[in-house]
Amino acid sequence: EMTTTQESLSATTPGRTASPRFAYNPCERPSDGIVVTSGVCTCISLCGLVGNLVVLWFLGCRMKHNSFTVYVLNLAIADSSLLLLLLLNLSLHFIAPEYCISPDVFFLTNSILFFLFLFCYFAGMYLLTAMSVERCLAVV
């Protein structure tokens, strides 16, 4: 009996590893385009973080609390957390080549940061939805 294998069914293709998580080598230095993009993202994140911290300080200490200010306060917390996680993820990608972090550790850390990022992102979206629904019901 003759066994034939199709190349399209093979688990790996030439030049690639079997697992996609190891396709990124954390010991390689990032390209210039990635460095510029990361720098712009870092500047925007720092500006957003400062703005959210001002909102947290102002709403947390200077204003009396009602339902709307509590929503905005929680939204500022979710946004600040999201920006901090983005900065941590950018830092991870620039620290990894310096210390040549193991691909397993890099993948695990990146995955944890990604899921926390998604949690903060969706928390902000749900808070905006709740604020909109409450305002809509207040009008009706």
The helix/strand/coil state of 15 is coil
Note down the domain range covering 83.
Answer: 31-139
Look at residue 20 and tell me if it is in a domain: no
Look at residue 93 and tell me if it is in a domain: yes
Tell me the C-alpha distance between 93 and 28, whole Å: 10
- pLDDT digits over 59-110, tens only? 888 888 888 899 999 999 999 999 999 999 998 888 888 878 888 888 899 8
Look at residue 90 and tell me if it is in a domain: yes
Which is more confident, 34 or 127? Answer: 127
Structural domains of the chain, count: 1
DSSP 77: H
Structural Rg of the chain based on CA atoms: 22
Look at residue 63 and tell me if it is in a domain: yes
The whole-number pLDDT of residue 78 equals: 96
